[in-house]
Homo-oligomer: A and B are copies of this chain.
Amino acid sequence: MSEPKIQDVARLAGVSPSSISNFLNNRMEQMRPATQLKIQQAIQELGYRPNNAARQLKTGVASMVGLLVPSLANQYFGALACAVEIAAAKYHCHVMTFSTFRDPAREREVMADLMAYNVQGIITGSALNDTENLEALAVRCPVVAFDVTRSNEEHARISTISIDNATATSMAVEHLVHLGHRSIVLVTPPPLTLNRQARANGFSKAIANAGITGDLVIIDPTDAPIDPHGDTQLFALGRSAAAKIMAAPFRPTAAIAINDMMAIGVGVGMKHLGVQIPKDFSLIGIDDIFFAAAHDPPLTTLRQPIQAMANAAVTRILAPTGIPGDEVFAPELIVRGTTAAPGK
């Protein structure tokens, strides 16, 4: 037995297919309550569901948004996918998620797939590996890039969503200064992206403002094995960074890591060096992924308001204002157990 169709429902309810269609699309004013009831019952009885493909072919749009992430095995992006799903559900819209594994060819491929599905828009949490392609896509449907900031008017068609990266590192520095730290590092892979540059700038500015010592500890990612699935690379990088941090000539008493994954790595590396956190050394991450709280001691971090950001991204697609734009969210300092006054 195959799926019931709109005709079957119409026959059972004793009305025409168009009334069923009206009913399904909430045009209740076009029929008598009695008709509504009959339709309702017929649908129930047959277990009828409209065929998405047919509907989509007719209307030209799918109730679907596309999401690109480097990998769902990375907990941050799993959480993002979850947040996007929740946000889209408010519009009765589904989400199709693809992992790109940071492969530009796959990214292009996957975008084309998404277009073939007639998605209403695309959210990408995968870096702007291929801005030209993204820009071309944005002609067809709204494109929202996560955690990306535009340098100029190059990408006039793309909207972006991110936290205020400079503020995040400034807040981290201020928190540490407030605790009494006078020598702080920012641990990061080479700051090639605009985001990381912004974090580095925020850091430097705050250091200068406070009139204290501070520098970047840049970790070469070629040191660590590449892991396209789980993105565990930053963890490994962080762990290996610990020694480099402690060897810095200006003897930092605290570190800010570019994100939580790296911070957790630094934390583990420090422990192996016999450095006690937060007694001997303070540590701050960025993101507030779940395992920040499960780390020991629980990681102080700057939280990204991920649900709010997902909501904003989805709104840009499903309730567009017309013009693309950039939305910047404030990070929130979550003080936990890895920060304390130096030597305490």
- Which residues does A use to contact B, with CB under 8 Å? 3, 49-54, 56-57, 62, 71-75, 77-79, 81-83, 85-86, 94-99, 112-113, 115-118, 140, 229-230, 232, 235, 264-265, 267-268, 271, 290-291, 293-294, 296
Contacts and interface: CB of A to CB of B under 8 A. Distances in A.
A296 B53 CA distance: 50
Contacts of A54: 53, 57
Tally of this chain's copies: 2
The A interface is mostly helix, strand or loop, or mixed, namely helix
A5 to B, nearest CB: 12
A268 B53 CA distance: 50
10 contacts: A52-B117, A52-B118, A53-B57, A72-B79, A72-B82, A73-B79, A79-B230, A94-B98, A230-B290, A267-B296
Contact of A49 (B71, B116, B230): B116
Nearest to A51: B116
A296 B294 CA distance: 11
A123 to B, nearest CB: 14
Contacts of A86: 99
Most buried by B among A74, A98, A265, A291: A291
